[in-house]
Structure 1
Amino acid sequence: MQWPDGFMWGTGASSNQAEGAAPASNWWDWERAGKAPVSGDGNGFATRYAEDFATLAALGLDHHRLSIEWARVEPEEGVHDEAMVAHYRAILQAALDAGVEPWVTLHHFTLPRWFAEAGGFTTDENRTTHWARHVDWVADTFGDLVRGWKPVNEVNFYPVAAYAGLNIPPGLGDPELAVVVSEQLHLAAAEAAVRLKQTGAPVSSIFALMHLEALDDKPETLAELSKLDDVHWQPGVGLQRDGVLRIRGREPIERPDLAGAYDLYGFSYYASFAVRDGAMTLFPEEDGPSSPIGYKIWADGLDRILRRLHELLPGQPILIAEYGVGTPDDALRAAYLERGLAITHEALADGIDIRGFFHWTAVDNYEWIHGYDVEFGIIDRDRNIRPSAQVLKREARQ
């Protein structure tokens, strides 16, 4: 397959998953409360980053997304750890030295303990003071070394998982509060995008997108499908396209200054779901491989998402910000990659403006409540390169 000039080939990771939980973070407390396995030193990235960047560059994967852990660089409110600042600057410089362009995320599920105890993203005040100051500080401190930004990971998923679910702290199981956090986080991410653009580097969103399908036409099924769409698709699209944030259960917020906040509309794709009799179910329903995390492994959902985004956001450059599969079966990973890349190439041929493909992940890492039991890497933790990596290398080298 031939790819457009400048098409970006990359991988993605996060600090908590690659370096282990920061002692000043709410995830550190979550682990010690027995809510998740202890992450330890992650996959060793904190000391092996130069080696990892050299490996990625040799594979032709010359973009890499990482996160700068807020709880490491500001473990106490207003107090920055200069040793950690130097650590992250060294990581970014090592990437550049290896020929890998670093993309940086500021919030990837975890928060400093002090910010979490102040309510996190539950209030306007926290967003417009603590968060806004942090964004400014990161831009000023690291902007000279960053070649792309992805401010907030999975803006639509975090509020559900942390406030209407039980797997991410604070794990409150409070759907009403999840709606508030969704509103705040969509604004926080887009506001950060506008500020980070001032560094001169491109900015991409990361929304966790899924293909959704009704399996019957019952009113309760259509109502549930509409609700899921309102949670996961419409807020991000509406803010980017129209400058209006529409969150179900909240009054619309008009923010024309945030229309077009992202240079690239980026997303992660892992799973598709259906609704039957008003309840979510796995999709597709027929027999097929399943992820250890609990969803069906189905690459064709990527096609549905690319084409829907093209319809909802005509002319908007798109970035596949995460695509991968957690499996011990590397042949399955290779086949999943082959199909995903074929889908991407077909979409490009049909005029969909896709700027890059980031695989999740490079080196097997800590997968949150699943610990180290789910393998997403094209490289294992001992730094053995898996055969699936050759699929990406072949295409990146075209």
Structure 2
Amino acid sequence: MTTTNGFPDGFMWGTGASSLQTEGAPPLSDWYAWEEAGRAPRSGAGNGFGVEYASDLSQFADLGLTHHRLSLDWARLEPRQGRHDQEAVEHYRAILTAAREAGVSVWACLHHFDLPGWFADDEGGFRDERARSLHWARHVDWVGETFGDLVHGWKPVNEPVAYSMLGWLTGRIPPGRQDVDAFAEALEAVLLANHEAWRLLRSGDQPTCTIHSLMPVYPVWSEDDDRQAEPARANARMVDDVVWGSWIRALRDGVLAVPGRPEIEVPEMAGSFDLIGFSYYYALGIGPDLSFRPYPTGADVGPLGLAPWAEGLRVCLERLAEELPDRPIVVAECGIGTWTAQDDDDLRCRYLEDCLEITRGAIADGIDVRGFFHWTGVDNYEWNLGYDAAFGLIRRDRTAKPSADVARRWATGT
């Protein structure tokens, strides 16, 4: 049974955001320390969602975007070990209550790139098995008990591969490492933390959904030097094993296989999560020197330094359906970044139209896609780019862009 616009009844139309990007870095978080050290622009109060949340959520609902993913920031809730901030608890409960009153179903994320300083620095973070199994597990349990009555669903850890890669391989976010072995160890640990969160949260009534950053991976080399071809292909296979294989095999076969680490059998991982969610922004070209390059070659690049390519969304949907058959899929993030100063929303309109047409086509071909979450609702803080990059349907002054009407037309079928 489908609606007139070709999407199934109950299809989830939504937006996604994180607490840090919309409310600023908590003072005792590792990201706040990162800003203090001059490693990223100041986030300040984010895009003002901490004050404007009721009207923002109502505006999303008016567009037909009745699902929203936000994060419950651990560093805001437990800034010091064992001491919860009751004001922060009441603040998040007020946001969740406002969402319910606006008719917006909230999907809660427990970790979106920043951590309490005490956990990241003093306890060793996710890489420390004791910290992960004790402090993280205790936090997940507490969040479930504290907010579960107001949450529609859980998306526990945002993009384990991207988080590990940015933190321990490229060094662009805390802890700022560039160490291949540390990256592999971190990725394994974060995937285990995501599994532990699913294990603890699955007993409730709310559905659980993964969020993995996915992109097609292609070898790229200079056409006038064929000697580069095989190294580029080998590097692309290696990166593909990380981006796709490290977690897909776990969800399919119960084997956690992170390249560079011994395989771990975790039978309970097989079939875990109710929904397979992923974020998509671009395809990735890999050079013979293991450099990350835009793909398609020669395409215009955006603020992230890579080329938005809507057709890659189709590649991801088809591959997921093949790798994890009979598992429902959610496009948990999809959007395009433009330079704020240029305010090029025409590009966003075209890209959104293309991605939604691709999603509709995948559904028509039998791929079980349950939802599409646009990143993001209101322009926000974009990590190392600060406020120079825009991803929103709505500007920070709360004026809607033409792309908001594109989203509305698709979401409502009118």
Q: Which residue of 1 aligns with 2:368?
A: 353
Structure 1, residues 313-339: CA drift from partner, whole Å, max 9, x if none? 111110100000011310100000000
Pairing 1:150–2:161 present: no
Q: Aligned match of 2:297 in 262, 270, 285?
A: 285
Q: Which residue of 2 aligns with 1:129?
A: 134
Paired residue secondary structure (1:144): helix
Distance in 1, Cα, partners of 2:175 & 2:47: 25
Q: Which residue of 1 aligns with 2:54?
A: 50
- State the shift of 1:27 in Å: 0.6
Pairing 1:206–2:211 present: yes
Percent identity over paired residues: 51
Paired residue secondary structure (2:150): coil
Contact preservation (8 Å) 1:194, 1:262? no
Contact preservation (8 Å) 2:80, 2:118? yes
Given residue 226 of structure 1, which amino acid in structure 2 is its aligned partner?
Answer: R
Contact preservation (8 Å) 1:8, 1:62? yes
Contact preservation (8 Å) 2:235, 2:288? no
Q: Which residue of 1 aligns with 2:269?
A: 258
Distance in 2, Cα, partners of 1:77 & 1:298: 43
Distance in 2, Cα, partners of 1:249 & 1:289: 34
- The runs of 4+ residues in structure 1 deviating greater than 4 Å are none
TM-score (normalizing by structure 2): 0.94
Distance in 1, Cα, partners of 2:145 & 2:179: 36
Contact preservation (8 Å) 1:265, 1:318? yes
Higher deviation after alignment, 145-154 or 188-197 = 188-197
Contact preservation (8 Å) 2:294, 2:301? no
Pairing 1:120–2:125 present: yes
- What is the correspondence of 1:314-325 to structure 2 with a 5 Å cutoff? 314-325=325-336
Distance in 1, Cα, partners of 2:263 & 2:31: 32
- State the shift of 1:221 in Å: 2.1
Q: Which residue of 1 aligns with 2:316?
A: 305
Q: Which residue of 1 aligns with 2:104?
A: 100
TM-score (normalizing by structure 1): 0.98
- What is the correspondence of 1:369-380 to structure 2 with a 5 Å cutoff? 369-380=384-395
Q: Which residue of 2 aligns with 1:388?
A: 403
Distance in 2, Cα, partners of 1:321 & 1:134: 24
Q: Aligned match of 2:9 in 5, 10, 21?
A: 5
Given residue 282 of structure 1, which amino acid in structure 2 is its aligned partner?
Answer: P
Distance in 1, Cα, partners of 2:288 & 2:259: 22
Contact preservation (8 Å) 2:211, 2:276? yes
Q: Aligned residues, how many?
A: 397
Contact preservation (8 Å) 2:25, 2:43? yes
Consecutive unaligned residues of structure 1, counting only runs of 5 or more, are: none
Paired residue secondary structure (2:207): coil
Paired residue secondary structure (1:64): strand
Contact preservation (8 Å) 1:290, 1:296? yes
Pairing 1:66–2:70 present: yes
Q: Aligned match of 1:183 in 172, 188, 191?
A: 188
Distance in 2, Cα, partners of 1:329 & 1:174: 37
Contact preservation (8 Å) 1:160, 1:175? no
Distance in 2, Cα, partners of 1:278 & 1:318: 34
Contact preservation (8 Å) 2:109, 2:154? yes
Distance in 2, Cα, partners of 1:100 & 1:295: 32
Distance in 2, Cα, partners of 1:274 & 1:281: 5
Distance in 1, Cα, partners of 2:55 & 2:304: 29
Structure 1, residues 127-157: CA drift from partner, whole Å, max 9, x if none? 1111000000000110010001110011111
Over the aligned positions, Cα root-mean-square deviation in angstroms equals: 1.2
